[in-house]
Amino acid sequence: MCLACEQQEYFFRVWCAGFLARGEMPPGVTAEDLQALGLPQPKASAGAGQGSETQDRGAQRPAPGADAFACDSPDE
């Protein structure tokens, strides 16, 4: 994996970890994706109504830079 790919993967993990720390599911990311990255599932929020509103807002945002970078490294 080239350095740019490693850096993108690292920042994607940090981005996901930010959502997980708030008890939210990162938008556009499935439970299987989190498992593949070695990240835990989001914890349930204390207030059920409050957490669902936050998740609805988060689902509207696209993943940052999801298709902004494409590696053309020959070593993959």
Report pLDDT for 63: 55
Highest average pLDDT, of 26-30, 38-42, 63-67, comes from: 26-30
pTM for the full predicted model: 0.57
Mean pLDDT along residues 24-47: 82
Q: Which amino acid is at 35?
A: Q
Give the per-residue SS3 of the chain: CCHHHHHHHHHHHHHHHHHHHCCCCCCCCCHHHHHHHCCCCCCCCCCHHHHHHHHHHHHCCCCCCCCCCCCCCCCC
Has residue 38 got a pLDDT over 60? yes
Mean pLDDT along residues 72-76: 68
List the structure tokens of 12.
Answer: 């994607």
